[in-house]
């Protein structure tokens, strides 16, 4: 998979994810499958339980089916999923 800035426009439901950093240390290390997404939260299936993780205070590792691992700051993902997919990405370079 080619990793580009448009990665934040992808659909994340169904992907494996791990919280690698957060201002709330209780969230760090939570790993599982994303089963739902809201404007400000990911709902992750972790050890058979649903965990709600705020996007804005966390950094995530997303594991794509082809083996690619991408680290994304959750602040870039805040917003309704349907609006985030439509949003234009401003390139800095």
Core vs surface per residue 41-79: b (16+ CB within 10 A) or e: bbbbebeeeebebebeebebebbeeeeeeeebebeebeb
Distance CA 19, CA 59 (A): 6
Distance CA 11, CA 61 (A): 14
pTM (whole model) above 0.85: yes
pLDDT at 6: 78
Distance CA 69, CA 53 (A): 19
Domain 10-77, CATH class in plain words: mainly beta
Residue 91 pLDDT level (bands cut at 50, 70, 90):
low
Model pLDDT for residues 38-82, shown as the tens digit of each residue: 999 999 999 999 999 999 999 999 999 999 999 999 998 998 888
């Amino acid at each position: 998979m080619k990793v580009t800035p448009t990665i934040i426009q992808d659909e994340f439901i169904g992907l494996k994810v791990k919280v690698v950093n957060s201002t709330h240390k209780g969230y760090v290390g939570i790993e599982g499958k994303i089963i739902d997404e809201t404007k400000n939260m990911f709902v992750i299936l972790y050890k058979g339980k649903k965990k709600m993780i705020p996007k804005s205070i966390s950094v995530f590792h997303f594991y794509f089916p082809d083996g690619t691992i991408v680290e994304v700051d959750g602040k870039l993902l805040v917003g309704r999923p349907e609006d985030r997919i439509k949003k234009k990405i401003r390139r800095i370079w």
